[in-house]
Amino acid sequence: MSRDLFVDVVIPFRRWDAWTAESVRAALVLDPPCRRVTLVPDAPLETADWTAIRQMPGAERVREMPSGPVNPGRKRNVAMAGSEADVFGFVDADARAWPDWLGRGLPHFADAAVAIVGGPNLTPPEDDARQKACGDVMASPLGMGAAYIRHAPVSAREVEELPTCNMLARNLPELRFRPELDTSEDMAFCGLARQMGQRVRYDPAVRVFHHRRRLGRSFWRQFCDYGVYQGRRAAWKWLWRAAPLAFVLYLAGLAAALLLWPAGWRIWLLPLGGYALVIGAESLRLARGRPRGLLTAIAFPCAHVAYGWGYLRGWLGRSRRLPLS
């Protein structure tokens, strides 16, 4: 049955680059094959870009639908509009699906109650040490909380949300992305599916490789954006998502305490010492003793502070809160 489904792999991006070419090439060699690959760039591709595409096996299945300079959610809606596909395969332009992606994912749609299927997006082996350090953080419960399963394979289960860098979605007329969301549109999409009485299923065998941000400004911005969005939808049932905010508040309090009562520095620094021990041990585990463990140990507090600061900003701006479920 799964081989008879019309699958349209949708890849949104701003402009063509080496990672986009890698993503398209991977989509064209899936087994079973997809029926179509839809590219959604800002502007029509250059002649040189199409020359590169036509050299790929199966290039006749590729089409482009330029969207203008809009956010990823709007781009995906452009590809979905009026489509006759049974299932959409969503992959980011900096990700590449494993060859058996459809073979592992499509059988789940035999259950009519399943609307969305996905699995982990893993750090590619060719990423450099600064990228792998950031991938380590994202694959750890200490870095991403319960959402770490997005980046590390665990047992199959039903979940609340999955990322659009690795998602298969049934073509339901009412199931579309919220165009006003510039980030976390995947959470809203999954939330809408669940409101419709549909299921979101996680399978560790449905995998993609996803290039990571490098440790530095781009990684900071990524986690800050995560925090802003979660802060806007703050609720008691998601209190655990505010944990990095507590760390930021502790650091602010630590600075004040050391200034007002420097003699008590041993007391004030005790929690920070415990944090360093836990993060150090987790970094060694994730890096398996490799030298990048030091970079991972740096990436953890970077992620926590960026997320906590973003969460505070989002919470303070909660008048623009965006409830998803």
Reply yes or no: is the peptide bond before residue 32 cis, omega within 30 of 0.
yes
Burial 3-32 (b: 16+ CB within 10 A, else e): eebebbbbbbbbebeebbbbbbbbbbebee
Q: What is the pLDDT of residue 110?
A: 96
Q: How far is CA 311 from the centre of its chain?
A: 18
Let me know if residue 36 belongs to a domain: yes
Percent of the chain exceeding pLDDT 90 equals 78
Mean confidence (pLDDT) of the chain: 92
pLDDT digits (tens, 9 = 90+) for 113-164: 999 999 999 999 999 999 999 999 999 999 998 899 999 999 999 999 999 9
Per-residue tokens: 282: 């987790």
The pTM is what? Answer: 0.90
316 and 221 within one domain:
yes
Domain limit, last residue, from 185, 210, 235: 210
288 and 192 within one domain:
no
Domain limit, last residue, from 210, 245, 278: 210
200 and 286 within one domain:
no
What residues make up the domain containing 7?
Answer: 2-119+162-210
- Neighbouring residues of 171: CB distance < 8 A, sequence distance ≥ 6: 80, 83, 85, 86, 87, 88
Q: Quick one: 283 exposed, middle or buried, by C-beta within 10 A (0-12, 13-18, 19+)?
A: buried
Read off the pLDDT band of 3 (50, 70, 90). Answer: low
225 and 202 within one domain:
no
Range with lowest mean pLDDT among 77-81, 187-191, 290-294: 290-294
Return the CATH number at 205.
Answer: 3.90.550.10
Full strand arrangement of the beta sheet holding 121-122? 95-97, 208-210, 121-122
How far is residue 134's CA from residue 129's CA, in Å, rounded to a whole number? 9
- Strands 87-90 and 167-170 come out as antiparallel
Let me know if residue 145 belongs to a domain: no
Q: What is the pLDDT of residue 2?
A: 61
pLDDT at position 167 over 60: yes
The domain tally of the chain equals 2
pLDDT at position 83 over 60: yes
